[in-house]
Amino acid sequence: MSEPVSRAASHVPYPTSPVAPAGGTVPDLDPDLDSDPDVYREHGEISADGHAEELPSDRFLDRERSWLAFNERVLELAEDREVPLLERANFLAIFASNLDEFFMVRVAGLKRRIATGVATRSASGLQPREVLEQIWTRSRELMERHARCYQQDIAPALAGEELHLIRWGELTEKEQARLFTLFRQQIYPVLTPLAVDPAHPFPYISGLSLNLAVVVRNPVTQHQHFARVKVPPLLSRFLEASPHRWVPLEDVIAAHLEELFPGMEVLAHHMFRVTRNEDLEVEEDDVENLLQALEKELLRRRFGPPVRLEVEESIDAYVLELLVRELNVSEAEVYPLPGPLDLTGLSGIVSAMDRPDLKYPKFVARTQRDLAQVESAQPPDVFAALRERDVLLHHPYDSFSTSVQAFLEQAAGDPDVLAIKQTLYRTSGDSPIVDALIDAAESGKQVLVLVEIKARFDEQANIKWARKLEESGCHVVHGLVGLKTHGKFSLVVRQEGETLRRYAHVGTGNYHPKTARLYEDLGLLTADQQVGADLSDLFNRLSGYSRRETYRRLLVAPTSLRDGLVSRIQREIAHHRAGRPAFVRFKLNSIVDETVVDALYRASQAGVPVDLWVRGICALRPGVPGLSENVRVRSVLGRFLEHSRIFAFGNGDEPEVWLGSGDMMHRNLDRRIEALVRVPDPGHRTSLIKLLETGMGDATASWHLGSDGEWTRHAHDSDGAPLRNIQESLIEGRKRRRGPAA
């Protein structure tokens, strides 16, 4: 499950993100986009006989093509008639939203590097221009397929359920009259037509805005003129003409252009939409105040160069030529499509439709059973539970509100708690987490909050939170220069008699109550003093000048995470050669890092089974004889955004399992503070390994990656029966458990 109107405000649950004008949020699959280039690291490996072994030069799949394949899997869910109809429409919105961000970040970054001459050959062996041309070709195919799915499948199917998404010409006279009144009262006053002539230069077209290109004629002089009308982003994307009948806002505006150009003849109008480079560039070494620098950069973001022009396929050649010239885009960057453009708006209308029969069945998370068993309080006494055992959380199946949120709220209100230390990467607009931290500070507790103000597309919201927290008395820091703090961890210090006890949470997801209901994530609540000591050291590093780089129960990027995982992969090779149980099983969002990929290739060559459960990008080629025939790669997409990261190793007879926030991406391993925590409890390790086995199992519905980079969906068995939906299985399992709904 990832922009003004406000992209920050709409980057809420998955499914939710970019541009969500009035009425709803646009789902996002959090596609792990990263604007930095793929820089291949030579990774020298030594074989058992002491000689270096060359790995094939074509062993890496291209990350951009892999990301587009990920978004194609999202599109396949929209095309799947076994998925509830309104959820299919929602997946159309997710696809469009993901692609917007891909162009704003990855395509924009690639173009920028080509223009400045700093782009290098990618790890896949492709030249930057080749990558860009492949992106243009493949994204065009997918966008056309996306439009066809809406036009020929989703819209007619909705109509069959008496839910009509129609165009202006399909309205009755009564509906048109009603919308004319609405136009005059609520739409016309906020419209601003902008003429283009010698006295009026071509206007600035903001990124992701919908626009009408209008051609008018002066009846006196017979001269034709061009004008632009922006569709107001704060108004509802679809307007209800009558019960269960909606029409796009731009159709209503287009039908009343004479009101905007009185005395002129409206000859033609065409919709268009521009995507701009909206990736931030802040050189922290050159600024004294990161907060102020980022605010200035957010203003500059609105004026980034165009990277894509979407137009209605019926557009006049003259108007298209004008747009291409004035926006300075190439022919390859123009995407003619059937209307309506910008289907991200579907998410808002889906959320407004009261048709539970066309959506996923409602699911209410339950309190995690180890917390529910604590009878001393309601909600549960988290501290009492943690003094007995570690608690492994699996969201959204386990309630966030009665676990992580309760942990921090209880800490804020407990007079014996002396300090709370917390990272915030993304959070919601009405966050109870932020409220708890403010309450704690105002009650005199020491509160340290590391707010990552460079969280992409949430920068403005995080600046707001940083200032609000500071005003309440919290100590707010922004981490280390040159590094984003992406790790998800919190620490509570509590006075218990004559001693201080530390309680901690390390997770894979943001402290975001809304996404916790829609993202699949893991978390470990623990009173283990080694974890507490590690987090104390890590927070001291983030807030002060500590140079500690080694930890007891944590692997931390950028110092020890990559090397720690690679050494454990190599250890599995030694176990396998000695005849002991050995395996490598990872669940993550993306795997691109060449050093890690090469280590997995070496493990496969040695005979170690390697299973990778990857939601998004995978640069590793599985199933290549002599290289990766022992590697399987699966992907699961569905109702919830698969967001957790698990790293499991056979380790002889003592399996080792880690969980945390880091993906195997250059940015995560080199330019972010990430933390993985080792899971000590044998029962927890067993349940996580079982989860990995289930997700990778042939009886589970998933996509399988081939050595050619193509993903194949496996949703039915050989008899045509549906394979197990792992998310639905986990929901059913929680329903059968004892414990209160939360």
Which positions are catalytic? 486
Residue 727 identity (one-letter amino acid): Q
582 token code pair? 């050995």
Gyration radius of the chain's alpha carbons:
27
134 token code pair? 């492949």
The string of DSSP codes covering 394-446 is EETTB-STTTHHHHHHHHHH-TTEEEEEEEESS--TT-HHHHHHHHHHHTT-E
The string of DSSP codes covering 333-363 is GEEEEPSSP-GGGHHHHHHH---GGGSPPP-
Give the span between the Cα atoms of 471 and 664, in whole angstroms.
Answer: 37
Q: Are 542 and 480 in contact (CB under 8 A)?
A: yes
The DSSP call for residue 702 is: E
Kindly compute the dihedral angle of the four CA atoms of residues 169, 173, 175, 180, in this order, to the nearest 10 degrees.
90
C-alpha 458, offset from chain centre: 12
Q: Are 315 and 336 in contact (CB under 8 A)?
A: yes
Where do we find the tokens 């016309």? Answer: 188
Helices 63-79 + 128-149 axis angle, to 10: 0
Residue 280 identity (one-letter amino acid): L
Residue 247 identity (one-letter amino acid): V
The DSSP call for residue 620 is: B
Per the rule left: phi > 0, alpha: psi between -120 and 50, beta: everything else, 30 is left
Helices 128-149 + 85-102 axis angle, to 10: 160
Q: Are 649 and 608 in contact (CB under 8 A)?
A: no
C-alpha distances out from residue 694 to 150, 352, 509, 535, 727, Å: 33, 35, 21, 32, 11
Beta strands across the sheet bearing 164-165: 164-165, 245-248, 238-242
Give the span between the Cα atoms of 83 and 327, in whole angstroms.
Answer: 40
Cis amide bond preceding 379, omega within 30: yes
Helices 404-413 + 432-442 axis angle, to 10: 20
Q: Are 542 and 485 in contact (CB under 8 A)?
A: yes
Give the span between the Cα atoms of 209 and 230, in whole angstroms.
Answer: 7
C-alpha distances out from residue 634 to 173, 482, 631, 713, Å: 53, 34, 10, 10
C-alpha distances out from residue 232 to 187, 212, 229, 554, Å: 8, 11, 9, 49
Count the residues in the chain: 742
Where do we find the tokens 């529910």? Answer: 372
Give the span between the Cα atoms of 508 and 662, in whole angstroms.
Answer: 8
Give which of 122, 454, 135 is closest to 279, Cα–Cα: 454
Helix/strand number for the chain, H first, E second: 23, 27
Residue 723 identity (one-letter amino acid): L
Give the span between the Cα atoms of 660 and 524, in whole angstroms.
Answer: 9
* 3-state DSSP assignment of residue 185: helix
